[in-house]
Chain A
């Protein structure tokens, strides 16, 4: 009894030990001290510093290559000797370029992007709270070039940025947020002493602590390179979001004074950590709050461009403009546009001119300039005036969003400006007005084509002549293939070497193809193959299609012959009688097949182009089935009479019926909708 009691106690002890060991092994691994992984310590436009810790001492090496370009990778080695703390600086990089890198012989690949040039747009994230489960998706979706974390490192039980440190530098309100530096120096965060700056592309971010020296703030505001300055501060500096209260703070007058002196490099925004997410514009400086109260998490993306900056509150779907172009608002003239839409072009231009006069200098009105230029250009065909307005647009709004279009139009008009724009004006008028209205009337269309021919004859040397000739050939193609071919040949002959004539042979081939003249199309395409080897793939495909269509036509002829032969043998060969019962049964087969096919067709009716097409297919398929039954029976009967071999006769009769059936089906598809033949690869 005693022994069994001991054994029982021992069993309990063993069980407890086993459970304890299992708990140690299986408990979720969450270290209180973050694992030290690769991180980006510093990035500029031409260099990057990568840091990591290792268990063993060695000289660290980093391999890198431009992302997306498969060239031999370069390498950079750390400056000092063997160590467990590694810092490798890569130099000689290009700005705003993504690089892939890896350590020594590691298989893990990471990427970083160098800082952009001052004029290049970029984005960064401001995050707070526990965003460990979101930081990787945020990096992917928001394309941030660096992150500012408002949660102090001491407030984190684990490193929530461990998955992204290898890609972007992380900063906090007091300086760089780096586990590597913490491990190396033993301090939680670099302390830049209440006031420090971060330069990134065209942005200077100034972090202003509670007891920052205002004289030093003024010094930091002076930046030769940045086009935008932002301040990140705390409620100690800005306690209330009310214009008067803000104006009375120590910070605001400094910013206003700077903006007066340097309007091209303004202090555009002040982000106040720990305030509610309100915002207010005071004297052109946008103040907004970031409610990082420690209880919730959140993220803001700041987009910075040379003319504008904005803050996008990702979770709230809210956006604040932090900096706007000099003429803040766009204004458009809806009434002016309505006049143009109605065709009152002169009136519309007058209205636009008045609009420009009353709004100039106050609003961005580049689209009014563009609208006037466009009316002169595409409606009134007064190209000299159009050019004048396009040029005014470029002069007064060189960075406007219509400037590239204006630029392009100027170049185009300039190419065809010979003969004082006369051929261009007449041709554009024909295309845009006369042809657009009358192209569906054959007689009028013919007159228009003759007009274009006369224009070409009048200005044979103009830059526009080959363009007009090509246009003419293309339009003939829609109605008269022979005239189209003639026009293409004229284009080849008179303007050989011109870009418009380069694919003329291919276009002739396509003209023949569209007209159903496949043999001529093949001949032309083969000639084009010799002349335009660059288009070999396209031409060969066209040849294959033409050959396919010829094949289809031949199969259709063959099917008619098969039908004629089987019908002839089945009905005309003696004995010529057809039993009424067979006709009846054939009719029954026709009806039953018709019902079944109708039901099936109704189920997939969306696949048919029209109800009529569906009906025709069902009817002729059913009729073919009924007739093939009759033919099969008659065929069998005639063979039996002749040979008396019932099995042979039955097989032969069935084969005849099947052959008739297949030929009938083919012809049905061929005449109803030939492209269904693609389904059976014909």
Chain B
């Protein structure tokens, strides 16, 4: 009898520890409050980065608030943004290669937001009951990247709310979606995100075209920015056309003098399957 009891106890302990380990590995889906906090902190960091003499200490404070989402995405998408961004912040604080590390910070946070949005879209597709809460979280994440849409509207559409309005419409459709219309709304959102970040990459390349003869140091930062923007859409382009992906990667890694935004735009349109502007 005693032996039986001991065996049962050991088995129970084993199950308990396994389930504890499993629960430890499970990634809790971030809630709406965390998503809002992420977006708010992201906007604060954007303000800090935009200042002439950025306040890296304040940026680090804000980054700590974003950690739950950063770690969630790192685990889900096998990224290492927690380490990358911390390292970038340390380098910025120490004054090393600020042009480059500042962009890793800013664009890395945007990539995380986009990945978080994709995770939410996957959850929506998996279970229609998730549609409403996921749509709310997506809307929250979007607020953190909205300034990019506004900037691209300013740069490419003379300030007309083209990208921002498309994104808002997609978000509205998502919030009202049911099982049958979910695909439309999610494709709309993914398309406008791809379009915005493709235009963002083009913008940086065109800036390099302007500065490559006079300010190579600034070009380094622009190159990092362009690479980070491309990271956000690379998977989609690589799926569609590995060759175009290779051309873009060669261009981003190559000499500044070989960069041509018009040629890149044609390649992006071919690879994405829709016009950018």
**A→B interface (CB under 8 Å):** 37, 67-68, 70, 96-98, 100, 107-111, 113, 116, 120-123, 133, 136-137, 139-140, 142-143, 162-164, 166-167, 301, 303, 305, 307-308, 310, 374, 377-378, 401-402, 404-409, 411-412, 431, 467, 470-471, 474, 499-500, 513, 541-542, 545, 604, 606-609, 673-676, 678-679
Contact = CB atoms under 8 A, between A and B. Distances in A.
Contacts, number: 170
Contacts of B250: 401-402, 405
A528 B179 CA distance: 55
Interface string B179-196: 111111111101110010
Nearest to A674: B53
Given A96-B273, A110-B184, A467 B51 contact: no
B181 A111 contact: no
Given A67-B188, A405-B250, A164 B183 contact: yes
B27 interface: no
Interface of B: 48, 50-58, 60-61, 93-94, 121-122, 125-126, 165-166, 173, 176, 178-188, 190-192, 195, 210, 213-216, 236, 239-244, 246-247, 250-251, 254-255, 257-260, 263-264, 267, 270-271, 273-274
Contacts of A409: 255, 257-258
A167 B183 contact: yes
Given A513-B52, A676-B55, A143 B239 contact: yes
Contact of A471 (B60, B179, B214, B242): B214
Nearest to A491: B214
B190 A140 contact: yes
A143 B236 contact: yes
A500 B166 contact: no
Contact of A108 (B50, B53, B181, B246): B181
A305 B241 contact: yes
A390 to B, nearest CB: 10
A545 B260 contact: no
The 8 A-B pairs with the shortest beta carbon distances in the complex, nearest first, are A405-B258, A675-B55, A408-B260, A121-B241, A467-B213, A470-B214, A136-B125, A401-B246
Given A133-B126, A609-B57, A111 B187 contact: yes
A404 B214 contact: no
Contacts of A467: 213-214
Contacts of A470: 213-214
A541 B185 CA distance: 37
A121 B257 CA distance: 28
Contact of B180 (A67, A108, A308): A108
A606 B60 CA distance: 8
A68 B51 contact: no
Nearest to A477: B215
A140 B125 CA distance: 9
Contacts of B179: 163
Given A163-B180, A606-B60, A121 B125 contact: no
Contacts of A142: 239
Contact of A109 (B173, B242, B258, B274): B173
Interface-centre pick from A108, A167, A431 (highest chain B CB count, 10 A):
A108
A305 B245 CA distance: 13
A404 B260 contact: yes
A407 B55 contact: no
A140 B186 contact: yes
Contacts of B48: 678
B221 to A, nearest CB: 14
A167 B273 CA distance: 16
Chain B contact residues: helix, strand, loop or mixed: helix
A675 B52 CA distance: 10
B274 A67 contact: yes
A76 to B, nearest CB: 18
A140 B121 CA distance: 9
A665 to B, nearest CB: 16
B247 A401 contact: yes
A607 B60 contact: yes
B274 A97 contact: yes
Nearest to B254: A405
Nearest to A546: B52
Contacts of A542: 52
Contacts of B125: 136-137, 140
Contacts of A545: 51-52
B243 A308 contact: yes
B183 A68 contact: no
Nearest to B54: A675
- Between A70, A96, A675, the greatest number of chain B beta carbons within 10 A of the residue's beta carbon is seen for A675
B255 A374 contact: yes
Contact of B240 (A67, A123, A405): A123
B214 to A, nearest CB: 4
A407 B263 contact: yes
Contacts of A107: 176
B257 A408 contact: yes
B240 A499 contact: no
Contacts of B165: 70
Nearest to A545: B52
A408 B259 contact: yes
A121 B173 CA distance: 29
A499 B274 CA distance: 32
A608 B61 CA distance: 10
B240 A121 contact: yes
A274 B144 CA distance: 48
A107 B55 CA distance: 48
A98 B183 contact: no
Contacts of B56: 609
Contacts of B259: 408
A101 to B, nearest CB: 9
A505 B53 CA distance: 21
Contacts of B215: 471, 474
Nearest to B94: A609
Contacts of B192: 68
Nearest to B261: A408
B57 A676 contact: yes
Given A163-B179, A409-B255, A499-B210, A143 B184 contact: no
Nearest to B260: A408
A109 B184 contact: yes
Nearest to A108: B181
Contacts of B246: 401
Given A166-B183, A303-B241, 16 more contacts: A67-B191, A109-B181, A109-B185, A121-B270, A121-B271, A136-B125, A137-B122, A140-B121, A167-B184, A303-B240, A377-B255, A401-B246, A404-B258, A474-B215, A500-B214, A673-B57
Given A67-B274, A68-B166, A542-B52, A111 B213 contact: no
A495 to B, nearest CB: 12
